[in-house]
Amino acid sequence: MDFWRLFGYAKTSFYHHDSPLSLPTKTEKQTTNLLDLCKEATPICRLNPLLFNGHLQTFWTAVESQEDVPIYYKRRIFSAEDPSFAGTFAVDFVVKPNVGTDESLPPRTTYYKDVEFGEIGSMDTKPMLVVLHGLSGGSHEIYLRHVMRPIVHAGWEACVVNSRGCAKSKITTGVLYNARATWDVRQVVKWLRKTFPNRPLFGIGYSLGANILVNYLGEEGEDCKLKAAVVCSNPWNLETGNLALRRTWLGHEVYSKTMGTSMKQLFESHVEELSKNPRVDIEKVRKITYLYEFDRELQGPTWGYPTEGAYYRDASSCDSLLAVRIPLFAIHAEDDPIAVKEAIPIREFQQSPFGVLCTTSLGGHLSWFERGGGRWFTKPASQFLIQFFENVDLEKLEKTLKATARNGTSVDAKAPSSFNPMRRKLQIDVEP
């Protein structure tokens, strides 16, 4: 065992392009770069020495208090504009503390009234954060609220795009979300851009939400409306992660089984609507135990994938990273037992000036517990976003991004062929 790990110290490493993205600043120092900004936002990683490996760090999330970071929301139900992904989804907007309650929603969450929501638009210039949660989670998750607290205290606005069926939302078609479900966040970003035309928009994603966010950034490319983004504990390569989980007893019987159970519970809460989908065999889904079985029996049939492996390969975000054209900061623990180290696209980060990867030798999955219960990852995640907004000249940044995109990455321009990281195998031609 690493001697320093006994005292909770984790080694921090950065992976990046030889020439990180240049960032124009608002100060006399005309420019900085993405790597320097990420390093400045990242403090020394010293965690709880009693939680000295990724398993203990991750297990601790099951016993941590869920009520110590009060964030209040008001929910609005959106109807999908794209007929290929018809249905509704819930977006929770952070609001000032209120005493309202709604037993049908997560804690501290109520619905917007129609009149109230109709007046939500603003010409203010506050920065706004768009948040994507992890597998079967939602706006109520404590890891999400830990990061949101300093962001909100810094004067930002924020909203959480709940995946369909999550956070006590209802589905109105016979499909749930999947790891490629970028359509709802795309609609929300467009709506935010129209409703708050002067607000700079930023994004953050956690675990599966991080995978979805990177896929979204890659799909948008140079047209992305977000200024910068952060991803935490991204599984990156879903097939690699699945094989790693099945290789060990803990991975198979604890992590994959727990995630399979949570997804089966989500399925049961929407079984009436899902049973209307002729592709779904209700009894097969009810017999599943592990996450990959859920993906085999539900996600594959509902979305048209022949196997869970085909789904994992098509939905992974490791290639999408090469199509990202905005500043991206990724935070990952090398001992993460769920989003495993071998799935991290280190070489891809070294090929793209738009991304910087920070890894720690200790931290688990969305954990990084410090002495006293705080989570270390909330500091680099929130400080990067806050410092980016405060220090980077966002108007000049657009020109820098376009110039860097035109110049390309380190791929040889004389190569006889080209690689399209966003070419997907699944084609959505009709409503699912």
d(CA 319, CA 321): 5
132: in domain: yes
Q: How far is CA 32 from CA 43, 126, 225, 273, in A?
A: 18, 23, 22, 52
Asked whether residue 253 carries a pLDDT value surpassing 50, the answer given is yes
Q: Is residue 243 part of a domain?
A: no
Q: Within a domain: residue 262?
A: no
Percent of the chain whose pLDDT exceeds 70: 95
Structural domain includes residue 164? yes
Per-residue model confidence as pLDDT tens digits over 313-361:
999 999 999 999 999 999 999 999 999 999 999 999 999 999 999 999 9
Which CATH number covers residue 95?
3.40.50.1820
Domain limits for position 347: 3-237+316-401
Active-site choice (207, 256, 320, 361): 207
Question: What is the number of other CB atoms lying within 10 angstroms of the CB of residue 1?
Answer: 7
For residue 151, give every residue at least 6 positions away whose Cβ sits within 8 Å of its Cβ, in sequence order, or none: 129, 158, 382, 385, 386
Residue 410 — very low, low, confident or very high, per pLDDT cuts 50/70/90? very low
67 pLDDT above the threshold of 70: no
Unique residue bearing structure tokens 């490493």? 13
371 CB-near residues (< 8 Å, 6+ apart)? 8, 46, 47, 48, 49
Main-chain dihedrals φ then ψ at residue 322, nearest 5 degrees? -70, -15
CB proximity list for 331: less than 8 A, separation 6 or greater: 230, 231, 232, 233, 358, 360, 377, 380, 381
Is a pLDDT exceeding 60 seen at residue 212?
A: yes
365 carries an active-site annotation: yes
Q: Does residue 101 surpass a pLDDT of 70?
A: yes
Examine the residue annotation and report whether 270 is marked as an active-site residue of this protein.
no
pLDDT confidence of residue 401:
92
| pTM confidence score | 0.95
> Annotated catalytic, 22?
no
Give the pair of three-digit tokens for residue 43.
Answer: 């403090």
Greater pLDDT, 419 or 341? 341
Q: How confident is the model at residue 431 (pLDDT cuts 50, 70, 90)?
A: very low
Q: How many domains does the chain have?
A: 1
- Whether 338 is covered by a domain: the verdict is yes
Task: Quote the pLDDT of residue 415.
Answer: 58
Closest listed residue to residue 179, CA positions, set 100, 239, 95:
239
Q: Is residue 289 part of a domain?
A: no
Longest CA–CA span in the chain (Å) reads: 65
> Please, what is the angle between helix 34-41 and helix 378-391, to 10°?
130
Tell me which of 136, 332, 365, 367 is the catalytic residue. Answer: 365
Tell whether 210 is covered by a domain: yes
Burial class for 346, CB neighbours closer than 10 Å (0-12, 13-18, 19+)? middle
In order of 12, 42, 53, 127, 193, the CA distances from 45 in angstroms are: 7, 8, 14, 27, 36
Which pLDDT does position 44 carry in this prediction?
Answer: 97
In a domain, 410, yes or no: no
Tell me: pLDDT of 207 over 50. Answer: yes
Backbone angles phi, psi at 224, to 5 degrees: -60, 135
Amino acid 201: pLDDT: 98
Using the predicted structure, report yes or no on whether residue 409 has a pLDDT greater than 60.
no
Query: Catalytic pick from 184, 295, 335, 336?
Result: 336
